[in-house]
């Protein structure tokens, strides 16, 4: 591998791994040049920030995950300030998840929080990391209302039509280990069709380990397996695929400053 070859895990939760230091060493050995450690709540934020402060190749995001359904008034207390941290490269993860509690109250909180985090992104000129599950129309509606903001639909599992609508808004699409699963025909179709300059890869570790690591805790090193799978799916050269998708990460998360060897 040449020293300038890039491979970036665009979405992981290093602070939830049993041994993040070992995972980072393993990732570097497999050629991973950087990881984006995603913040999902107030409680985990200090750990996410500490990861990015301790490692030149780890960057942070700060946001409130839709699963927690935290009211804006509560997130207001810490999130705007967290976003001013010098290692923060995006707002999120935020978004909508209607796969669990779909009470009117929960949905209202999620929608309000998502719209507010998009407004914060606009104000701070940051991209957003979006989680969306069983909430396609509402997710796209709220994204459309926040014109001028771009980001990534992470761990994409929706239809090509949704991907197309998000691409039209300027968003990127990120593939997790799910794309390597046998029953993932719909996700694989999206992975084939997204223009190469709008595609990212991620682990979402510690969850969703790709083939051939299924059943094990996921780690950033395994982004190499997902990259190899998608490159093969698209019939493109692996080194070129890694480079392209990494350049995409650096274009989207434009506050990332990589110190290359
Ligand atoms: Zn995540």
198/44 Cα distance (integer angstroms): 29
Ligand 1 mean position, distance from CA 137 (Å): 21
Ligand 1 mean position, distance from CA 93 (Å): 7
DSSP category for residue 25: H
pLDDT tens for the 261 residues of the chain, in order = 444 689 999 999 999 999 999 999 999 999 999 999 999 999 999 999 999 999 999 999 999 999 988 999 999 999 999 999 999 999 999 999 999 999 999 999 999 999 999 999 999 999 999 999 999 999 999 999 999 999 999 999 999 999 999 999 999 999 999 999 999 999 999 999 999 999 999 999 999 999 999 999 999 999 999 999 999 999 999 999 999 999 999 999 999 988 766
Q: Of 146, 186, 142, 193, which is closest to residue 167 (Cα–Cα)?
A: 193
Maximum alpha-carbon separation in the chain: 53
Q: Give the per-residue pLDDT at 35.
A: 98
Ligand 1 mean position, distance from CA 161 (Å): 22
Reduce the DSSP state of residue 36 to 3 states and report it. strand
Is residue 181 within 8 A of residue 211, CB to CB? The reply is yes
Q: Looking at the domain covering 8-252, what would its CATH class be?
A: alpha beta
Residue-range domain boundaries for the chain? 8-252
Q: Give the per-residue pLDDT at 5.
A: 86
Ligand 1 mean position, distance from CA 82 (Å): 18
Ligand 1 mean position, distance from CA 243 (Å): 23
Ligand 1 mean position, distance from CA 92 (Å): 9
Angle at alpha carbon of residue 137, lines to 190 and 123, rounded to 5°: 95
Ligand 1 mean position, distance from CA 189 (Å): 22
Q: Give the per-residue pLDDT at 261.
A: 60
Ligand 1 mean position, distance from CA 77 (Å): 22
182/252 Cα distance (integer angstroms): 30
Ligand 1 mean position, distance from CA 159 (Å): 19
b/e burial code for range 76-89 (CB count within 10 A of at least 16 → b): eebbeebbebebbb
Ligand 1 mean position, distance from CA 136 (Å): 18
Ligand 1 mean position, distance from CA 38 (Å): 6
Is residue 128 within a helix (H) or strand (E), and if so which, with residue range? Answer: strand 128-133
Ligand 1 mean position, distance from CA 207 (Å): 9
DSSP category for residue 184: -
Ligand 1 mean position, distance from CA 120 (Å): 19
Is residue 179 within 8 A of residue 202, CB to CB? The reply is no
Ligand 1 mean position, distance from CA 129 (Å): 9
CA distances from residue 123 to 38, 51, 116, 143 in whole angstroms, order as listed: 20, 25, 10, 15
Is residue 7 within 8 A of residue 224, CB to CB? The reply is yes
């Amino acid at each position: 591998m040449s020293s300038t070859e890039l491979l970036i895990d665009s979405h992981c939760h290093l602070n939830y791994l049993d041994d993040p230091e070992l995972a980072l060493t393993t990732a570097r050995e497999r050629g991973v040049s950087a990881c984006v450690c995603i913040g999902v709540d107030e409680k985990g934020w200090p750990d996410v920030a500490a990861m990015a402060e301790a490692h030149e190749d780890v960057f942070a995001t700060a946001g409130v995950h839709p699963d927690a359904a935290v009211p804006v008034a509560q997130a207001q207390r810490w999130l705007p300030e967290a976003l001013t941290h010098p290692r923060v490269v995006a707002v999120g993860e935020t978004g909508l998840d209607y796969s669990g509690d779909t009470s009117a109250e929960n949905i209202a909180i999620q929608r309000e929080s998502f719209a507010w985090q998009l407004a914060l992104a606009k104000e701070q000129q940051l991209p957003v990391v979006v989680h969306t599950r069983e909430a396609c129309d509402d997710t796209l509606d709220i994204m459309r209302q926040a014109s001028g903001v771009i980001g990534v639909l992470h761990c994409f599992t929706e239809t090509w039509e949704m991907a197309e609508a998000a691409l039209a808004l300027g968003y990127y699409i990120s593939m997790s280990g799910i794309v390597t699963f046998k029953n993932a025909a719909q996700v694989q179709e999206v992975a084939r069709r997204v223009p190469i300059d709008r595609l990212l890869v991620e682990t979402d570790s510690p969850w969703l380990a790709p083939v051939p690591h299924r059943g094990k805790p996921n780690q950033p090193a395994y982004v190499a397996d997902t990259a190899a799978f998608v490159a093969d799916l698209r019939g493109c050269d692996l080194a070129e695929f890694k480079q392209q998708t990494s350049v995409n990460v650096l274009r989207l998360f434009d506050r990332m400053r990589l110190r290359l060897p």
